[in-house]
Amino acid sequence: MNAIVLYYSYTGHTKKIAEKLAHTQGAELVEIHTKGRLGKLNAFVVQCPRAMMRKTAAIQPIAQDLNGYDMITLAGPVWASYPAPAFNAMIKLLPAGKNVQLLLVSGSGSGGTKKSEEGTKRLVKKQNCTVLAYKDLKG
């Protein structure tokens, strides 16, 4: 199976988890970067409300063509109880018809609320993809 793990990490926790997961799955690993540097004040004051509104962040393009993978894992941090805007941007990269695993990393390990989880799964389904797994991990 051709698997890929895409991850966004602001402070390095998701990065470590994604690296381990990719190693275990024998998957390719790709880090997603936002366009421009994201300061702490911006993250908390601007991006947290954006996370709650399910907005995306501007991210740098990736070299991989995701059409070529059978399993795509998206991993990223929880901000203000919702996936960080860069995570939402990764969802938008999904080609239709893919099997997807979602991995949210948070300080509490609760990954936000049930409402957050359901909304995130809905965004993936909107891309015409299937959510095979959803996990909340403590960073």
Ligand X SMILES: Cc1cc2nc3c(=O)[nH]c(=O)nc-3n(C[C@H](O)[C@H](O)[C@H](O)COP(=O)(O)O)c2cc1C
The footprint of ligand X (CB under 6 A) covers: 9-15, 43-44, 48, 77-81, 105-108, 139
What SS3 state is found at 42? helix
| DSSP secondary structure letter of residue 26 | T
Asked if residue 14 lies in contact with residue 8, where contact means CB atoms within 8 angstroms, the answer is yes
Provide, rounded to whole angstroms, the least separation between the CB of residue 116 and ligand X: 9
Provide, rounded to whole angstroms, the least separation between the CB of residue 130 and ligand X: 25
Nearer to ligand X, 20 or 125 (CB): 20
Chain residue at closest Cβ approach to ligand X: 139
Phi-psi group of 97: left, alpha or beta (phi > 0 → left; psi -120 to 50 → alpha; rest → beta) = left
Provide, rounded to whole angstroms, the least separation between the CB of residue 80 and ligand X: 5
